[in-house]
Amino acid sequence: MKWTGWLFDNLGLKLFALLLAALLYLHVLTDRTVEQTIYFPVVIEQLADSLALASNAPTEVGVRLRGTGKQLIRLRYLKPPMRLSLSGVPAGTFTRAFAPADVPLSGAGDVTVLDVFDPPQTSFQVAKRGHRMVVVEVPLVGSPGRGLVAGDPIIRPATVRLTGPATWVARQDTLRTEPLSIAGRRDTLEIVQPLAPPPAWAHATPGSVLVAIPIEPETQKTLELDVEVRGIRNELRAEVRPPTINATWRGPRSRAPAVDARDFRVSVDAQRRGRGMWTLPVAVSGPGAGRLVLAPDSVRVVLH
């Protein structure tokens, strides 16, 4: 009882004294001169509207600093950006070494920059800016519930504006969203899905799309398809055995009536072979060809 009384008597005053002691200790501790490495974010600005970055620039730079603990804690917390101006820079390779004067000390006059080292300089490509509208694709993950199938995604908007280096943009035809799971779904899924981010030096607008995935009962339809032979030498002719193959289409019940054998092309490539009998794999093309299962998936071709 004696010890308990001693411990809890004037408890508020004792806690206040303990807090003051801790604050005094921290004040003394952080008033000493120390050396620390702080990473500053890099902001690229003043690039002409007609230009774009064509390779990755550093997102942060490591700097070795000397100063009091209080000043360095403040800089570590605020992380003022290191600004890299590209005003007047033409297309081509941009190279620049970082200097102590680039480090934003935000009024911390007693802080000394010892080294700018990670990285000590930057080098990246600047190119003419281009833009185009590209089609959005939605990669699906998983399968709906038993006896059901996913229809073609309905995407709004179906295209987005892609900007970046002109030569790179010209090669892009599609842009995907983040993968969308339909595992176990039994009804139509409608969701706003973000785009998979393009490279840091490119930009897509808008950054997300509205996606509706119809979930319907699955059905199948059997088609008989003629087989064409490509890549035949001019002096030869081809005989296909069998001349037709069966294809089973599996998909949403609502789409089955519109599926027609004339919409698909089945072919084999003779690759300009000589006379003889060859077993060649079958390829199929056309809208929704990915839903076809071929039987057989190869045929014999007699060249004579």
pLDDT at 235 over 80: yes
Given 101, 127, 153, the domain boundary residue is 127
pLDDT in tens, 173-227: 999 999 999 999 999 999 999 999 999 999 999 999 999 999 999 999 999 999 9
- Is the same domain home to 145 and 204? yes
In a domain, 253, yes or no: yes
Mean pLDDT of the chain, nearest integer? 89
- Is the same domain home to 183 and 225? no
- Is the same domain home to 176 and 259? no
For 289-295, what is the mean pLDDT? 89
Given 216, 237, 269, the domain boundary residue is 216
In a domain, 202, yes or no: yes
- Is the same domain home to 181 and 140? yes
Side-chain-facing half-sphere of 52: CA atoms under 13 Å = 18
pLDDT at 4 over 60: no
- Is the same domain home to 117 and 37? yes
The per-residue pLDDT for 20 is 63
- pTM assigned to the model: 0.70
- Please provide the size of the chain in residues: 304
The per-residue pLDDT for 29 is 52
The per-residue pLDDT for 71 is 84
pLDDT in tens, 260-280: 999 999 999 999 999 999 999
CB 21 within 8 A of CB 13: no
Report the CATH number that the domain containing residue 231 is assigned in CATH. 2.170.120.30
For 22-39, what is the mean pLDDT? 70
**Most confident option among 65-79, 97-111, 193-207:** 193-207
Rounded distance, CA 116 to CA 206, Å? Answer: 37
In a domain, 2, yes or no: no
Residue 86: name the closest of 55, 61, 52 by CA. 52
The per-type count for the chain, helices as H runs and strands as E runs, is 4, 24
For 142-165, what is the mean pLDDT? 94
The per-residue pLDDT for 227 is 93
pLDDT at 45 over 60: yes
Tokens of 171: 């090669």
- Is the same domain home to 210 and 223? no
Radius of gyration of the chain (CA): 34
What's the structural domain count of the chain? 3
The structure tokens 């990246």 sit at 124
In a domain, 54, yes or no: yes
pLDDT in tens, 52-64: 999 999 999 999 9
- Is the same domain home to 207 and 284? no
Tokens of 248: 């089973």
The per-residue pLDDT for 223 is 94
- Is the same domain home to 93 and 119? yes
The distance in angstroms from the start CA to the end CA of the chain is 112
Beta strand spans in 81-214 (E): 82-85, 92-97, 112-118, 121-137, 140-141, 148-150, 154-156, 159-165, 174-176, 180-181, 189-194, 203-205, 208-213
In a domain, 40, yes or no: yes
pLDDT in tens, 106-137: 766 788 899 999 999 999 999 999 999 999 99
The per-residue pLDDT for 152 is 87
Q: Hey, is 46 helix, strand or coil?
A: coil
In a domain, 17, yes or no: no
- Looking at the DSSP bridge assignments, the partners of residue 195 are 177
The per-residue pLDDT for 224 is 93
- Count the helix, strand and coil residues of the chain and give each as a percent rounded to the nearest 5: 20, 50, 30
| Run of H or E residues at 227 | strand 215-230
Residue 227: name the closest of 244, 246, 214 by CA. 244
Identify the domain containing residue 191 by its residue range.
Answer: 135-216
In a domain, 75, yes or no: yes
- Is the same domain home to 115 and 41? yes
* Reported confidence tier of residue 9, pLDDT bands at 50, 70, 90: low
- Is the same domain home to 123 and 149? no
Bond prior to 206 in cis (omega within 30° of 0): yes
The structure tokens 């000589």 sit at 274
- Is the same domain home to 104 and 71? yes
In a domain, 6, yes or no: no
For 140-158, what is the mean pLDDT? 94
Given 216, 237, 267, the domain boundary residue is 216
- Taking the mean position of all CA atoms in its chain, how far away is CA 152? 22
